[in-house]
Amino acid sequence: MLNIHNDGSSPSRVTVTFADGALSFMLSEDATFEDLADRLDRLGERHHGKPVAIEVKLAARVRAERRRLVAMKISLGTFAVLLITGSMFLQPAHAQSVPQGSYRTSCTDIRVEDRTLTAVCRIADGREQRTSLTDVNRCVGDIGNDNGVLTCSHGQPMAPYRQDRR
């Protein structure tokens, strides 16, 4: 039976139980499993048999490092979840909703920045070209694709009110 655990004691201690008794010894900080196995073999020769039980209590430093690694993994996992979740809902600050219109059936890569609608629209011969429509906010009715050019009817602004003075 081999128990390896950390109980917060320092330095690392090994307790070995044989059929004829038990003994304890300290492990150096840089000891490896191979070093431990060699020492257990030598002790087994002295006690005429293999160990019945082995208990290893690691130094407190190992526990603190493990706790720090676990905390770091949790922090990184939480950050990754927040980053992925946040990116699903964010749009660039300049992005605006794309207006409705018949152009959407023959245009791709549609974007609105400020008051300009930009898209790649199909021409009658099947090719595509990038086109823009300024003051899209003034469009009245349908926005269309006229042979690769975005078009709309801009509403006429109301004439300023004048009062005739006669």
pLDDT digits 0-9 by tens, 65-84: 777 777 777 766 666 666 66
pLDDT tens digits along 116-131:
999 999 999 999 999 9
Q: Which pLDDT value is given to residue 28? A: 81
> Above 80 in pLDDT, residue 96?
no
Domain ranges of the chain: 1-90, 102-153
Closest CA to 19 of 57, 56, 64, 53: 53
pLDDT band of 32, cuts 50, 70, 90: confident
**pLDDT value for 81:** 62
Dist CA 111 CA 109 (whole Å): 6
Beta strand pairing call for 53-57 and 2-5? parallel
More confident residue, 69 or 14: 14
Residues across the chain: 166
Q: What is the rounded CA–CA span in Å between residue 79 and residue 77?
A: 5
Element (DSSP H or E) covering residue 152 = strand 149-154
Confidence (pLDDT) at 7 = 45
Q: Determine the average pLDDT of the residues in 21-27.
A: 85
Instruction: Answer whether 0.85 is exceeded by the pTM.
Output: no
Q: Which tokens hold the place of 49?
A: 């048999």
Q: How far apart are CA 145 and CA 148, in angstroms?
A: 6
Looking at residue 97, its pLDDT comes to 84
For residue 8, is pLDDT > 50? no
| 113 or 27, greater pLDDT | 113
Please check the confidence at residue 34 and state whether its pLDDT lies above 70: yes
Q: Which of 29-33, 57-61, 145-149 has the lowest mean pLDDT?
A: 57-61
Position 102 scores a pLDDT of 94
Residue 9: pLDDT band (50, 70, 90) is very low
Range 102-153: architecture per CATH? Roll (2.30)
pLDDT for 123: 94
Residue 144: CB atoms within 10 Å: 19
Judged by phi (left if over 0) then psi (alpha if -120 to 50, else beta), residue 165 lies in: beta
